[in-house]
Amino acid sequence: MLDINFINIENQNKYQRFLYGYESLFKNLVILYKKNKLPNKILFNGSDGIGKATLVYHLSNFILSNNENDSYDIENKEISENNKSYLDLVNNTNFNFKHLKVDDYKKSISIEETREIINFFNQSSINNKPKIFFLEGAESLNINSSNSILKILEELPDNNYFFLTYLENKFLLETIKSRCFNHRIFLSSKETSLIKEKLILQYETNKIIIKDFTPGTNIKINMLFNELDISKKNFSEKILAMQNFYIEEKYSKILDLIHIYIENYFANNLEKNNFFKNFRIRKKINNIIHNIKLINNDVKSSFYEINLLLGIR
């Protein structure tokens, strides 16, 4: 198995040298860039784990590695392992690219963090290459940082690109959306299945494929199950193991995965004739998890309530 720390899995997108799916979209973006018509402010939205960040990293690599040795392989949508821009990026020494994402131990992107974007665009470019800023998770902007982003979008210098992603069905100021070229990212069910299989093969993880999960979420669940050695355990044992892991790590994405896994369990495994009862239970569980994230309720007692609702002893 690859030596991957699950706590760092959210940052694995920048190491992903393969772009699965999105053939037409990516090639169209490449054509626009070659014709000097690529919008320099693009907002990608879609489900969590659908591939938004990976797409942005590949588009950024294509732009920054243009005319380099081992430049981006457009036909195969692959970054060479010897690509200089890629190596600089993974080593955090690519001064023409910067990435900002909400800290997983915080709740929002602050005004101080958005000032990093202003400073970045005010600095000189290296080797006259374009400068690219990637803001991942724009739904985490608060009102002050949102206003700061608006100002940046309005005054973006030439030969600079600002790529943003946000989760669909989450709030984002309409004024931010209106200043960007907007593109919704989605996959067909067939594409989703194929990408899940490719990721499982690439990461050499267990072969669990969970219906209705996006490829990214599916591989995160598989990695978590591998970390906890619970792939073959039953639902109750999996939930308890994930809860204990969250209590130890206090890492927000673990709580999100627990929530998604419970939702999937209700959607696919409980009797249809108990719909209204299950609806009430799901609503209660959603409220408990929301309160854990929002007001930091006592986690152990909150998990105890959830387990009672699920019939876990």
Of residues 137, 162, 134, 176, the one with CA closest to residue 45: 137
% of the chain surpassing 90 pLDDT: 59
Confidence of residue 273 (pLDDT cuts 50, 70, 90): low
pLDDT at residue 57 in the model: 96
Query: Structure pTM?
Result: 0.87
Using one digit for the tens of pLDDT, what is the confidence trace for 187-209? 999 999 999 999 999 988 888 89
Farthest CA pair distance, the chain: 65
Q: How far apart are CA 43 and CA 177, in angstroms?
A: 7
- Higher-confidence residue of 267 and 287: namely 287
Give yes or no for residue 248 having a pLDDT over 90: no
The amino acid at residue 107 is K
Backbone angles phi, psi at 124, to 5 degrees: -70, 150
Backbone angles phi, psi at 277, to 5 degrees: -65, -45
Using one digit for the tens of pLDDT, what is the confidence trace for 143-177? 999 999 999 999 998 889 999 999 988 899 999 99
If you compute the radius of gyration of the chain from its CA atoms, what whole number of angstroms results?
21
Asked if residue 66 lies in contact with residue 132, where contact means CB atoms within 8 angstroms, the answer is no
**Which pair of structure tokens corresponds to residue 290?**
């929301």
**Which pair of structure tokens corresponds to residue 23?**
């053939």
CB count in 10 Å sphere of residue 188: 9
**Which pair of structure tokens corresponds to residue 281?**
């239970």
Strand extents, DSSP E, the chain: 41-46, 97-101, 131-136, 160-167, 181-184
Mean model confidence pLDDT for the chain: 88
Catalogue all structural domains in the chain, each as residue range(s) with its CATH number: 6-184 (3.40.50.300), 194-232 (no CATH), 235-313 (no CATH)
Asked if residue 162 lies in contact with residue 100, where contact means CB atoms within 8 angstroms, the answer is no
Q: Beta 131-136 vs 181-184: how paired, if at all? A: unpaired
Q: How far is CA 51 from CA 21, 58, 196, in A?
A: 9, 11, 11
Residue 240: its H or E element:
helix 235-249
Confidence of residue 214 (pLDDT cuts 50, 70, 90): very high
Give yes or no for residue 1 having a pLDDT over 60: no
Sign of CA dihedral 201, 229, 11, 169: positive
Side-chain-side CA neighbours of 62 within 13 Å: the count stands at 25
**Which pair of structure tokens corresponds to residue 28?**
């169209």
Using one digit for the tens of pLDDT, what is the confidence trace for 19-59? 999 999 999 999 999 999 999 999 999 999 999 999 999 99
